[in-house]
Copies of this chain bind each other. A is one copy, B any other.
Amino acid sequence: MDDQAKVFENFLKKRSLKLTRTRRLILEAVFRNHDHFDVDTLYDQIKTRHQNVSRATIYRTLPLLVQAGLLKQSLRCQDKDHYEHIYGHERHLHFLCTRCGNIIEIESGGIEKIIRVMAEEKDFKIMEYNIVMRGICANCRTGGE
């Protein structure tokens, strides 16, 4: 059992939930994606390998993974929530090209620190934050059709 599965199992145990076969399948599919995905993409991927995982169960399981700190709902795009796994990944933020739809990741750099200070000042306990920038990427701006 890999790390993520252990984390998930612990998380589940704490709330007397079970690490079932289906939940494991979903977990694996989530960690097979190394970029941002939406629920339907995941559903199709899972369906291709092992049939019979209901969309409902995916919708139920993703929030668990988020609470377990393994997954993040990082952006909303085309009216859908998009997720990415975060276990063992650096925090980063996203540029979203509004022309081609590409997502470019950027290391959080100095922002992290600033945010922490701001939160401190307002006596606000941050659980998570999200930074999304929209614009036109270099490719689209130059030639890119």
Contact = CB atoms under 8 A, between A and B. Distances in A.
B122 A127 contact: no
A122 B104 contact: yes
13 contacts: A76-B76, A98-B127, A106-B122, A115-B133, A122-B138, A123-B137, A123-B141, A124-B133, A124-B135, A129-B131, A129-B133, A130-B132, A130-B134
A124 B109 contact: no
Interface-centre pick from A123, A128, A129, A141 (highest chain B CB count, 10 A): A129
Give the number of times this chain occurs in the complex, counting copies.
Answer: 2
Nearest to A130: B132
Nearest to A133: B129
A107 B78 CA distance: 29
